[in-house]
Structure 1
Amino acid sequence: MSKVLAITGAGAMSEGMRQINPDVVPAFPITPSTQVIEDFSQFVADGKVDTEMITVESEHSAMSACIGAAAAGGRVMTATSSAGMALMWEMLYIASSMRQPVVMTLINRALSAPINIHADHSDSMGARDAGWIQLYAENNQEAYDNLIMAPKIAEKMDVRLPVMVCMDGFIISHCVQTMQLEDDDKVKKFIGGFESTYPVLDTENPSTWGALDLQDYYIEHKRAQHIAMKNAKDAIKKVSEEFADIFGRKYELFESYRIDDAERVIIAINSVCGEIKEVIDERREAGDKVGLLKIRSFRPFPYEEIAAALERVKIVTVLDRSESMGAYGPLFTEIRTALFDAPEKPMVYNRIFGLGGRELFMSDIHDIFEENKTYLETGKVEKMFDYLKVRGG
């Protein structure tokens, strides 16, 4: 039966992996995702799962082994962070291009240099074009739920793409929160058995993987990936509906928090959204019409749905916890694209925050709402792009 327990975000992910009981888990530990693999390896040692655990010499090897195991016909999972995923970079593209439904817990951590072990989104946002589905979580419960849904999304026959389930390093991964751990049998029944496509170990039906693909077919294969990613949007919706029917927690491509009548909205990702909700509730009590749009699915990105959700909003502040040097933040760029063709669109501007784990407090969020209130009253955004809480600025 299901139970409520106090557990870290990383611990929640290892429990989810235990319930899924993947065929193969290749892994190399890196802070702050080490606990996921550490706890899961204990489950393997204790005989609580049937998983073949492969301890490799690097993250590049870990993803290579994931691809090989998935191509052989197994359900495969792993976990990493930051520089670990950066070392996987080549293989991330190969996993998605070979349409292997690998599921990876990504505990977000800043990329070096300077070396930093704390949370920002430079790792996952740097991989936003690698062809992986990206799901983000505000807290431990959402991260666990996303992980339970991830194999079912990835393995849809019109999708067959890898999924990274993202959460903020330390802020969520090492924070103990109460959450509902679902019944093992219910989770297994929800996910179902794994159905492989053209497994290389099927000698009766031989297949070739990773063949040379020149100008005669390469672009068709890339288009097929793009179509699969578009299909993933419906898959996420359908799997989330099934999840809600069974477990009672409902998820969309994004969460609209008190935006039905909101004039001023913040758009953000991951753990900061919890603080933003607290500030919104305080300001709502004072009659201030503010709201939050929290992104859950960054890839595929729900352009049309976001444009529809913001059609009555007057001004939007987009918070990015990563940056694209010489350009606007990755989330801001997508939001501007979503709003470009909208007949009625809000003013929108970009703020970079929290790089390397710098905290954003509730007082800072109040300041953001005061700033966008001023911009709305004057009808002019003074700074389209800026950093929050930075020295010398």
Structure 2
Amino acid sequence: MTKKVAKEVSVAVAEAVAQCNVDVISAYPITPQTHIVEHLAELVNNGELDAEYIPVESEHAAMSACIGAAATGARTFTSTSAQGLLLMYENLFIASGLRLPIVMALVNRSVSAPISIWNDHSDVMSMRDAGWIHFFAENGQEAVDLIYHAYKVAEKALLPVAVNIDGFILSHVVEPVTFLDQNLLDKYLPPLKMKYKLDPKNPITIGAIGVPEIYTEAKKAQDEALKASYKIILQAWKDFEKLTGRRYLPVETYQMEDAEVAIVIMGSLAENAMNAVDILRAKGKKVGVVRIRLWRPFPTKDFLKAIGKVKALCVVDRAVSHGATGGPVGIEVRSALYQSNKRPRVLNLIAGLSGRDVTKEDFVEIFEKTFETLSKKPTTPYEIYGVKE
């Protein structure tokens, strides 16, 4: 049996983490992720979750504690946002380099300065090369399901996983969410058994110095492991579909069967983009949406298949890559296209910074701007959308 209830998404995420029978939770409060770790603290305090809750003095310490706990074979969880993630930064690379299956809910928030507590993807893009697996949730149900999935993947691939949830836009809304029955989840997610872990009865060394003669080989092995996690991710989603009927793919599409123009996007704003598709389809415009759920490892083949035979793409980034030729996703998309014979026009817009609204009407305008590129000479246009003059 499964149960469907209305929950604040942050609370739902916390309850999904608790269902995964975590052993150690280590976190420091920061807006807008605080409700997740607050609710987990309540569950532990009330005796509803048998776990060690470590209220540390900083996010750096939170990830340090997770690293130590995971290295002993404990199932671990943490959560953060923005500056909190940046304070963890050193340890993010250690977690992935040591191949530790830590799961983190990253409730995306703008990075200062100027200070902003609102949502965009500037925090997650700062760690795109840290060696973590990354998923982006579109709604509350996906956020819960991706937590279940994250532990399954992390413990099979032996890599840390970040589940990205748009701050406030998603984290603080109340949505209907279906939780897995505990017996069903236990079949999907068996107890963690790590072959190599810190154990006084069987001493090993973890994190020894990487001299020049072995460092490159270690990084090569880590990169191959991240790429190999793709098959593990797909299989875990297939297993999840068999249990629940809910199907997930690395790249999702909407009305792409005959689309001539498409928007590429990640996260919760995809739903507004799909509303714009419905408006334009009613007017006879052949438009669609391509939503990237799996950010790392980047699903190049899935993406190229998803875009079909479109003539033009607009990549809507929610972070600025200062001094570059586009946003982080835009740069990734152009790189993927360069590996194929497909050459649609590519427009790259930065939108929705610091939680600024990007409405369905805005997406209609973005589609129209993308259509305009078809009548112009090929360029690599890149702009920040909606800047006030």
Q: TM-score, normalised by structure 2?
A: 0.98
Residue 383 of structure 1: how far off its partner (Å): 6.7
Match of 2:253 among 256, 278, 287: 256
Task: Output the CA distance in 2 between the equivalents of 1:67 and 1:197.
Answer: 16
Contact 2:347 2:373 in 1 (8 A): no
Residue 310 of structure 1: how far off its partner (Å): 2.1
Partner of 2:129: 129
1:217 equivalent to 2:214? Answer yes
1:290-311 superposed Cα distances (whole Å, 9 cap, x missing partner)? 0000010100001122122224
- The within-5 A match list for 1:343-362 is 343-362=341-360
Give unpaired runs (5+ residues) of structure 2. none
Partner of 2:319: 322
Partner of 1:195: 193
- The within-5 A match list for 1:1-393 is 1-156=1-156, 159-201=157-199, 203-327=200-324, 328-376=326-374, 378-380=375-377, 384-392=381-389
Residue 66 of structure 1: how far off its partner (Å): 0.2
Residue 46 of structure 1: how far off its partner (Å): 1.3
Residue 185 of structure 1: how far off its partner (Å): 2.0
1:315-348 superposed Cα distances (whole Å, 9 cap, x missing partner)? 0000000011001110001100110032232111
Contact 2:257 2:308 in 1 (8 A): no
Give unpaired runs (5+ residues) of structure 1. none
* Identical-residue share of aligned pairs (%): 42
For 1:258, the aligned partner's letter is Q
Residue 209 of structure 1: how far off its partner (Å): 1.1
What root-mean-square deviation, in Å, do the aligned CA atoms of Structure 1 and Structure 2 show? 1.2
Contact 2:70 2:100 in 1 (8 A): yes
Task: Output the CA distance in 1 between the equivalents of 2:143 and 2:176.
Answer: 13
Residue 379 of structure 1: how far off its partner (Å): 4.0
Task: Output the CA distance in 1 between the equivalents of 2:78 and 2:378.
Answer: 43
Contact 1:349 1:381 in 2 (8 A): no
Task: Output the CA distance in 1 between the equivalents of 2:65 and 2:198.
Answer: 14
For 2:237, the aligned partner's letter is S
For 2:246, the aligned partner's letter is R
Contact 1:303 1:337 in 2 (8 A): no
Task: Output the CA distance in 2 between the equivalents of 1:344 and 1:358.
Answer: 33
State the aligned residue count: 388
Residue 382 of structure 1: how far off its partner (Å): 6.7
For 2:53, the aligned partner's letter is M
Other structure's SS at 2:212 match: coil
Contact 1:136 1:296 in 2 (8 A): yes
Does 116-125 or 340-349 show the bigger shift? 340-349
Task: Output the CA distance in 1 between the equivalents of 2:27 and 2:187.
Answer: 26
Residue 73 of structure 1: how far off its partner (Å): 1.2
Contact 1:310 1:345 in 2 (8 A): no
Other structure's SS at 1:216 match: helix
For 2:103, the aligned partner's letter is V
Task: Output the CA distance in 2 between the equivalents of 1:2 and 1:311.
Answer: 37
Task: Output the CA distance in 2 between the equivalents of 1:216 and 1:389.
Answer: 51
Task: Output the CA distance in 2 between the equivalents of 1:37 and 1:151.
Answer: 17
For 1:123, the aligned partner's letter is D
Task: Output the CA distance in 1 between the equivalents of 2:183 and 2:343.
Answer: 47
Task: Output the CA distance in 1 between the equivalents of 2:268 and 2:302.
Answer: 22
1:227-281 superposed Cα distances (whole Å, 9 cap, x missing partner)? 1111111111110111111011100011011112100000001011011111112
For 2:266, the aligned partner's letter is I
For 2:286, the aligned partner's letter is K
Residue 182 of structure 1: how far off its partner (Å): 1.8
Task: Output the CA distance in 1 between the equivalents of 2:270 and 2:209.
Answer: 44
Residue 23 of structure 1: how far off its partner (Å): 0.8
